[in-house]
Structure 1
Amino acid sequence: MLKRYIVIFIIMTFLILIFPGFNSLTFAEKPYESAKSAILIEKDSGRILYSKNIDEKLPMASTTKIMTALIAIEKGDLDEIVTIKSDWINVEGSSIYLKSNEKIKLKDLVYGLILRSGNDAATAIACHIAGSVDNFSALMNKRAKEIGALNTNFTNPHGLHSDNHYTTAYDLALISQEALKNEVFREISKSADYMAERDLNSHFYNKNKTLWEYDGGDGVKIGYTQTSGRCLVSSATRNDMQLIAVVLNDNNWFEDCYNLFDHGFDNYKRIQILRKDNYIKDITINNGKIDRLPVVINKDLYYPLKKDELKDVKISITTPTKLTAPLKKGDLIGKINITLKDEIIYEGTMKLTKNIDEKTVKDKFVNLINDIF
């Protein structure tokens, strides 16, 4: 038996030394077996760094509240006072213990929603914003389609089980990516605790252990029902790269997310591919008040890459050689296409940032005199 273990150890050591990618591949596959569905993406680019059954429709429990919070922030006034109605309270499951006729800020409800996962807070938010749970669910579904989460359907704002309430790991990653673009949501999501302006049950502690257990952990939401199992959306940031991990129906939810993060941070680095204001070329302007237009990159672009992938990135920039005035601000003057191993990772445009007027008779006369002398 001892000889057998020694042989296995020697073989594993040999494979790791001879094939450097072997260790990361086995690491990438093993830790996530307990998740029914899992995904890891980089927040800014949306690049998928790991995936498992990412398009399978599954219940998502209280990770639903990521969308609830986003809509509350986008459509509500967080300083507005909400008067709690009797049919908004006593909701099954997690609670912030709202009372009938209690007056509370919408901001406090959203903190209670994300940190304490209050189902009563979710119901109050929905009814305050849209008048009813059904109306709010329609807003949630509309926003999901706008984000591109096409395999998601919401029937409530809290995530308690309903047969027609589901998402996918991929869609939930997209929704979380959109939510984390919002500064207010980011601040709420990364808060370890919060003190609400109310007399009782005012101190909310975040249930998301990622914030203090994982180096760089900064959000976003946990969820659990008997039907959905343990669901977790986590985010973490290191070296200016923020990753989003999603696991659905996973008994090893936190540890699997941490392993996903380790895989991402160990194997990928955020690389700048485009630099804003970098000069590309001049375009000749016919009949314009200026003769030449310098074309420059109009944005910074970063993308997560493995160590050996940079050589496979190809940048193609197409611009006309001549344009004729008048030209208006917003007119297209170029296209950018970036590929990684022939896969398109970015398509963008360059547009005029100001008007270019055509020459007047006076301009043409002055130019003629200048040419003569």
Structure 2
Amino acid sequence: MKKIISLAVCLVMPFVLMGAKTAEDTPPTTSAQAFVLYCPDNNTVICSKNADERMKPASTTKIMTSLITLEEAASCNSEVTFKQEMVAEGSSMYLKVGEKVRLSDLASGMMMASGNDAANAAAYTISGSPEKFSQRMNEKAKQIGMTNTNFVTPSGLDDDNHYSSAKDMALLMSYALENDDFANLTAKKSVTVEFLEPKSKKTAYANHNRLLSLYPYCTGGKTGYTTVAGRCLVSSAKKDGVTLVCVTLNDRNDWNDHISLYDYAFEKYRGVDCKDADFCTDIPCVGGDKDSVTVTGEKNNTIVLKREDCDKIKKKIFIDSFLYAPIEKNESVGRIEYTLGGKLLYKCNIVAGEKIKSDKKSVSIFSAIGNLFS
């Protein structure tokens, strides 16, 4: 029987202070009908109100539309000729019939100018119609884990069956930020689009997300408004390596509320650096072309916790006392777990740093020895 090596230690590891003062336990009040302050690093809701209530997300919908558009553009950044059927009411990047841009430019028009025309153009180009495109939006929403969401319009214009929740929009923004093209775009204060037709046309679009200028740690987001939905805002912020996402729906004081919520979290919480990629050791290997295999932690991560809990984390390393060949490089051979009060916070795979081939001669000898004691 293989023996499991288990090491339990209280973490003594560098952590990031997120403010000089101790914050109140009570989160700041907001004007929002619903809000969520979410930490994607460890899938934690820091504070919320009506987080799962189904509400109108307005143009924050375009986070999904632009994400799908950028995913498509990454494989084929096709030319888009703007047609009459793509015209839409409301906010616009002011495309004219016959003008031509790249598919990725439509994402810029959505995320900067909140262009409903850009959203419609993307829907027709990618799926043939807004109706078919909404099916793709909902498939993606299901993949992300958005359980209180149904998209009908690519632009976010109101429809009785078009809804989402603060928690779902936080999940969407967190997912979208993992896409480098989206993360780079949403962080920009402006984008200049060079038209393919007419070739002489260049238009600069300013980002409607004023939080990029109001709050130094803001890394992106999307505004939204309709008379039914009210003011909606999805944003992200990063300080000292810790990323947070904030969502407010129907909030007349959204800029200040986002800043207050971020300040609260960055003051009250710490980011604990789990530098598991630094873990490295050699484990004996049976039946391989080498006597041992080098193993290491798969990746580094940050766990976000309340200040008072950071020195209470326990770390355990689980790995067999010996391994059997063959072993593929990056194959999982163990794990590192972080717990608080018996609750699992995070686990990281321990992986092989090299490939170990089977040595038939060694295996035969090992089997023969084993048979002597069977």
Which residue is equivalent to 1:351? Answer: 351
Contact 2:130/2:153, CA 8 A, preserved across alignment: yes
* CA apart distance, 1:141: 0.9
Distance 1:144 1:120 in 2: 22
Which residue is equivalent to 1:271? Answer: 272
Which residue is equivalent to 2:303? Answer: 303
* CA apart distance, 1:293: 2.8
Which residue is equivalent to 1:226? Answer: 227
Which residue is equivalent to 2:245? Answer: 244
Which residue is equivalent to 1:171? Answer: 168
* CA apart distance, 1:174: 0.8
Counterpart of 1:303 in structure 2: which amino acid? I
Q: 1:158 to 1:321 in 2, by over 3 A?
A: same
* CA apart distance, 1:36: 1.2
* CA apart distance, 1:364: 9.3
Q: 1:201 to 1:283 in 2, by over 3 A?
A: closer
* Bigger shift: residues 255-264 or 322-331: 322-331
Identify the match of residue 188 of structure 1 among 182, 185, 201. Answer: 185
Which sections of structure 1, spanning at least 5 residues, go unmatched?
1-19, 366-373
* CA apart distance, 1:79: 4.2
Matched, 1:150 2:151: no
Which residue is equivalent to 1:327? Answer: 327
* CA apart distance, 1:336: 2.8
* CA apart distance, 1:361: 4.0
Contact 2:294/2:354, CA 8 A, preserved across alignment: no
Distance 2:54 2:344 in 1: 27
* CA apart distance, 1:189: 0.8
Summarize deviations over 1:272-297 as a string: whole Å, max 9, x none. Answer: 12331313x54332222222334322
Matched, 1:80 2:78: yes
* CA apart distance, 1:205: 1.1
Which residue is equivalent to 2:63? Answer: 66
Contact 1:38/1:169, CA 8 A, preserved across alignment: yes
Q: Secondary structure at the match of 2:24?
A: helix
Contact 1:97/1:201, CA 8 A, preserved across alignment: no
Summarize deviations over 1:225-267 as a string: whole Å, max 9, x none. Answer: 1111111011222222222110011111111111111111111
Counterpart of 1:167 in structure 2: which amino acid? S
Counterpart of 2:36 in structure 1: which amino acid? I
Matched, 1:211 2:202: no
* CA apart distance, 1:224: 0.6
Distance 1:314 1:201 in 2: 56
* Bigger shift: residues 355-364 or 191-200: 355-364
Identify the match of residue 118 of structure 2 among 117, 121, 125. Answer: 121
Q: 1:323 to 1:201 in 2, by over 3 A?
A: closer
Summarize deviations over 1:141-169 as a string: whole Å, max 9, x none. Answer: 11111111122111111100111111111
Bigger CA radius of gyration: 1
Q: 1:39 to 1:363 in 2, by over 3 A?
A: closer
Matched, 1:286 2:283: no
Which residue is equivalent to 2:131? Answer: 134
Matched, 1:31 2:29: yes
Distance 1:290 1:103 in 2: 60
Which residue is equivalent to 1:369? Answer: none
Contact 1:277/1:298, CA 8 A, preserved across alignment: no
* CA apart distance, 1:72: 0.4
Distance 1:288 1:194 in 2: 56
Identify the match of residue 94 of structure 2 among 94, 97, 117. Answer: 97
Summarize deviations over 1:100-135 as a string: whole Å, max 9, x none. Answer: 121112222211111110101100011111111111
Distance 1:220 1:70 in 2: 12
Distance 1:341 1:57 in 2: 34
Q: 1:257 to 1:335 in 2, by over 3 A?
A: same
* CA apart distance, 1:300: 0.8
* CA apart distance, 1:326: 2.8
Q: 1:362 to 1:195 in 2, by over 3 A?
A: closer
Q: Secondary structure at the match of 1:155?
A: coil
Q: Which has the higher helix share?
A: 1
Matched, 1:109 2:110: no
Which residue is equivalent to 2:263? Answer: 262
Summarize deviations over 1:151-207 as a string: whole Å, max 9, x none. Answer: 211111110011111111111111101111111112211111122124668221111
Higher relative contact order (CA 8 A, sep 6+): 2
Distance 1:168 1:160 in 2: 16
Q: 1:201 to 1:232 in 2, by over 3 A?
A: farther
Matched, 1:45 2:42: yes
Q: Secondary structure at the match of 1:232?
A: strand
Contact 2:298/2:348, CA 8 A, preserved across alignment: no
Contact 1:55/1:169, CA 8 A, preserved across alignment: yes
Contact 1:96/1:201, CA 8 A, preserved across alignment: no
Task: Give TM-score, length-normalised by structure 2.
Answer: 0.84
Which residue is equivalent to 1:4? Answer: none
Matched, 1:56 2:57: no
Task: Give the fraction of aligned pairs with identical amino acids, expressed as a percent.
Answer: 37
Distance 2:45 2:328 in 1: 38
